[in-house]
Amino acid sequence: MFPSFFAVAPKDILPDLKYPEGFIFGVDSAAYQVEGAVMEEGKGPSIWDLASRQPGFITDNTTADVVDLHYYLYKEDVARIAALGVNGHSFSVSWARIFPFGAADSPVNQAGLDHYADVIATHLEANITPVVTLFHWDTPLALNLYYGGFASPNIIDDFIHYAKTVFTAYNGSVHTWYTFNEPQVFCAQVGGAPFNATFPPGIDSTNAQFHCSYYLLKAHAGAVKAFREMNITGEIAFKNSDYVGMPWRANNTEDIEAVERTVAFNIGVFSDPIYTTGDWPQILKDTLSPDILPRFTEEDSKDLLGSADFFAIDAYRTYWNAAPPEGISACVNNSSDPLWPGCFVEVMFDFNTGWASGPAADPLTPWLQATPQFLRPSFKQYHQRWPAPKIYYSEFGFTEPFAGVRTPQELFQITEDVERTTYFMTYLGELLLSIQEDGIPVVGAFAWAIMDNAEWNSGLSARFGIQYVNYSSPTLERTYKRSAFALSDFFQTHL
C-alpha cells in the first residue's frame, strides 16, 4: 500500500455519500493506443499506422507498433484491473482487425472476430463490464486510399456493415456500446496531414472537417438504426468531448457569445442533431456555407434525432471562453482569420485574478489543467442542453508532469503520481455531489487510462496511465501507480 503522508485518504472524501446501485467504475483504453501487434493475425493497417511513420508527425518518433502489446497481454491486463476492484473497461475494436481492407465487400478476418470474443469473455469471467467502442479514430488505411475515408460518403455503408458484423458477433455479451469516440476531435484531424493526402474531388482542408462530421453522423445514425432493427440487446450512443465553459469577462456579451460558439463547435455539432433538434447548431449554419457544411435532408434529421440511448462525455477540463481580440463578427466574416470558423478563445486563467483555473498537467498536454471546481456546473449544463435518461462520464484523466522524461531507475518517483491522484480524487468527489446533490443521472465513470499508452501525436512520452509501462523492457511490465491504489480505495469505500 502507498504511504498516507500529506495526502487526502480516499475514504475521507465525502465518507457519507455513496455512488448509486449498479454504478460502473471503469478504466479506458483504445485499440491503436494499447494493442500493438499491428501486423499480426490478419490485421490491416490503419491511418494511424501510416501517420506514425511520417517523419516528425509523432513528437518523440515512437510508433504504436508494439506499445503495450495488450493484444497478447489482455488476460494479464484484465486480471490487474480486476485486482483493483475496477468493474468496467471501456475499450475499442480495431476495424482493420475485423475488415483488413475496411470495405463491406472485402473479406472478414475471423482471427480478429475470435480475438475480441475472447477479450470480451475474459472481462465477463472477471466480472468486469466490457464497454465497446466501434471506432476510436483508426480508419482502415485501405478506405483512405480507395476514397478518402471519412471525407467521402462511401464511408457510411462500409461503417454500417462493419458495425452490423460486430453487433452480430458479440450480441448478448456486451451491453453498452459507442459508435464513435470523440468525433469532433477526429474530424478536426481529417483535414490535416497526413490524412489529407487522399481527399476525394471537391474536398479541401477547409471543408474536410465538416464533410467528415456529416458522413460520420450519417454512419452513426445508420449503425444505431441497424442496432435497433436487429434487436441487439443493450444501449448505444457515442462519446462527446469537452465542456460547457464560462465567459472570461463575466458580463461581457462577446465572451458570453464565445461560450456559445465553443459549445456549438465542440459538442453541439454532434449532440444537437442527435439529442435535441435533428439539425446543426444555428451558429454553425450562420458561419459555414452549405459547400463547407452540408445541410441535412428531412430524412437525415429524422434518422439522427433520437439515435442515442444515453449521453456520454469525455470531460477532462472546463475553461473560460473569450471572443477573439478582433471581435467575433470580424472573425466570422474573415475566413483567413486563424481562429475562423470557431472564432472563440479558450482561456486557462481567471480574468480578475490572473490565477490558473487549476494545476497544469505535463507540458506535452498543454490543453490540460485540473478543474474539479467546474465539474458540477458543467454536468448540469450537459444534462440541461442534451437531456438523456442517463449519462456516462466516459473519460477523464491527467498526465503527471514530466513523467515521460523519467527513466525506469526513477520508478519510485514515477509511481508517486500525486497530481494525478489529486485529480481523480477531487473529480470523483465532485461527481458524487453532482449525482447526489444536483440529481444528475451519471451511471458510470471511466478513468483514462488503464496504463501508459500511445498518446497520438505525443507518442509514448505523454503518460496518462494509472499503471506505468516500462517501454525499455522486453516484457513491458506494468506497475501500479499511486493513483491506481487511490482509485481502488475510493471505489471500495464509495460503492
Active-site residues, by number, are 182, 395
Per CB under 6 A, 86 contacts ligand NOJ? no
Task: Name 30's Cβ contacts closer than 8 Å, sequence gap at least 6.
Answer: 91, 92, 133, 136, 137, 138, 181, 453
Q: 43 vs 38, 77, 333, 486, CA distance in Å?
A: 7, 21, 46, 37
Name which position in 154, 181, 184, 381 contacts ligand NOJ (CB under 6 A): 181
Name which position in 382, 455, 484, 491 contacts ligand NOJ (CB under 6 A): 455
Per CB under 6 A, 177 contacts ligand NOJ? no
The CB-of-493 to ligand NOJ minimum distance in angstroms stands at: 27
Nearer to ligand NOJ, 216 or 323 (CB): 216
Tell me the per-residue interface mask from 375 to 404 with ligand NOJ, x by CB under 6 A, - otherwise. --------------------x---------
Interaction with ligand NOJ in 15-34: which residues (CB under 6 A)?
A: 30, 33
Measured distance CA(55)–CA(62) in Å, rounded: 10
Per CB under 6 A, 423 contacts ligand NOJ? no
Per CB under 6 A, 303 contacts ligand NOJ? no
The CB-of-239 to ligand NOJ minimum distance in angstroms stands at: 7
Nearer to ligand NOJ, 300 or 314 (CB): 314
Interaction with ligand NOJ in 306-325: which residues (CB under 6 A)?
A: 314
Per CB under 6 A, 68 contacts ligand NOJ? no
Per CB under 6 A, 466 contacts ligand NOJ? no
The CB-of-301 to ligand NOJ minimum distance in angstroms stands at: 27
Q: How many residues at the interface with ligand NOJ, by CB under 6 A? A: 9
Per CB under 6 A, 452 contacts ligand NOJ? no
Per CB under 6 A, 257 contacts ligand NOJ? no
Per CB under 6 A, 190 contacts ligand NOJ? no
Name which position in 182, 255, 257, 400 contacts ligand NOJ (CB under 6 A): 182
The CB-of-214 to ligand NOJ minimum distance in angstroms stands at: 21
* Contact residues: ligand NOJ, CB under 6 A: 30, 33, 181-182, 314, 395, 448, 455, 464
